[in-house]
A and B are shown apart, each in its own frame.
Chain A
Amino acid sequence: MRFSIYRYNPETDEQPYYQDYELDDALIGNEMMLLGALEKLREQDPGLTFRSSCGEGVCGSDGMNVNGENKLSCITKVSELTQPVVIRPMPGLPVIRDLVIDMTLFYEHYHTVEPYLKPTPAGVSIDLDHELLQSPEDRAKLDGSYECILCGCCSTSCPSFWWNPDKFHGPAALLAARRFVVDSRDITTRERLESLDDPYKTFRCRNIQNCTASCPKGLKPSQAIQQLKSLMLEKQVD
C-alpha cells in the first residue's frame, strides 16, 4: 500500500515536502487502522512524527488530514482508504513537525468560553452537602455536546476558522459553550450568551457544515452554533 506523507522539520527543512512510503500488503489486515499503519511506517523511518495515545478514538490526540478529510487515525480503517493515502497535518494551525500541529490557539478559544459549570454567583462557594440535581429531561439536553474529545477535527476543517483563527471561537469551543449554556445547573446563561454576541466569536459561522462532516464522534457542532444564535435571540427578546 502506498502512502504520501507531509514532512516538515522546521529545524532542518526550509520547506515542507511529501515523502512516499510503501507498506507491504501482507502487513495490513482488513481491520488494521491507519494509526497501526503509521506505526509500521515509523519502524521504517523513526523520524516520522505524529501524536497518538489511547488508540481507541477517546483521547483525540491523533487527528490528521487523510485524503483531504480530517480524521482520527486510530479509528480509520486502512482498507477503506484510496491509494496513495495522502496524509497531512490538520489545516489552519501551525505545524510543529510532520503531522504534529500547535493547538494552543484551539485550546485558548476553548478556555475563553469557560467550559465549566458555574452554579453559584461569583465568590459564593458550592454547598457540598447537597447535590446539584437535574431532571432527566434537562440532562438529555447535554447529549450531543459533552461527548466532544477536543481532537480539533472540526475547527481545523472550518474555513471560517482558517480565515479568523484568532477571533472566531470555532466549532469545538462553541459546542462546549452550548453545552454549558443549556445546562440547567448553570446560572450564568445570559452572561455566557452576551459574551458570545460578537461579529467574530460566534457570527463568523457561515453554516458550511465541514465541522459536522468531519466530527469523528458524530456530533453536530454546526447545529449547536445555530442553537446558540437562537438562544441569544430568545434571551434578548424576552
Chain B
Amino acid sequence: MSGLLTGLKAHLWQRISAIYLLLYFPLAAWYLNQHSFATLQAFKQAVLAGEFWMITLLALLLILVHAWVGMRDILIDYLPRKIVLVGLSVLGLGLMLVLLNLLYLTLSLIQN
C-alpha cells in the first residue's frame, strides 16, 4: 500500500474491493433476512454470529479503501492543483476517523 494506494495498486484495490462488495451485499441481505431484529440484542446476535461479523468487518474496511481511491480520483480531477494536497489530507483524516469509529464499534460489540 505504498504511496497511499496510488497508480496500479489503487487500480487493483479498487477492483478487489468492488468485487468483494458486489458479492457481500446480496449475501448480507440474504443472511440478515433470515433473522428477526425485534431488539438490539437480537441484532447483535445476528451480526456477531458465526463468521458473518468478520465478513462484515472486512466489507466495511474495503468500503473505506474503495472510498479512498474513488474520492482521491475525484479530488485530483476536480480540485485546483494548489489545494489538492489539502483536500487529500482532509479526506484521509476523515476516513481515519471513520476507521477508528468502526474499530471502537467492533470492540464494543464484541465486549458486550
- Chain A positions within 8 Å of B, measured between CB atoms, are 160, 163-164, 197-200, 202-204, 206, 229, 232-233, 236
Contact = CB atoms under 8 A, between A and B. Distances in A.
B77 A199 contact: no
Contacts of A204: 76-77
Interface string B69-103: 00001001110000000000000000000000000
B12 interface: yes
Interface in B1-48: 3, 6-8, 10-12
25 contacts: A163-B78, A164-B76, A197-B7, A197-B8, A198-B6, A198-B7, A199-B6, A199-B7, A199-B76, A200-B76, A202-B7, A203-B7, A203-B8, A203-B10, A204-B77, A206-B73, A206-B77, A229-B8, A229-B11, A232-B8, A232-B11, A233-B8, A233-B11, A233-B12, A236-B8
Contacts of A229: 8, 11
Contacts of B11: 203, 229, 232-233
Interface residues of B, number: 11
Interface of B: 3, 6-8, 10-12, 73, 76-78
Nearest to A199: B6
A232 B15 CA distance: 14
A166 to B, nearest CB: 9
A226 to B, nearest CB: 10
A52 to B, nearest CB: 34
A233 B7 CA distance: 11
Contact of A163 (B3, B8, B12, B77): B77
A233 B9 CA distance: 9
A73 B55 CA distance: 57
Contacts of A232: 8, 11
Nearest to B15: A233
B12 A199 contact: no
B82 to A, nearest CB: 13
B77 A160 contact: yes
B92 to A, nearest CB: 14
Contact of B10 (A160, A163, A199, A206): A199
Contacts of B78: 163
Given A164-B77, A199-B3, A236-B8, 15 more contacts: A160-B77, A163-B78, A164-B76, A197-B7, A199-B6, A200-B76, A203-B6, A203-B7, A203-B8, A203-B10, A204-B77, A206-B77, A232-B11, A233-B8, A233-B12
A199 B11 CA distance: 9
Contacts of A164: 76-77
Of B3, B6, B76, B78, most A-chain CB atoms within 10 Å: B76
B17 to A, nearest CB: 15
B20 to A, nearest CB: 17
A163 B8 CA distance: 20
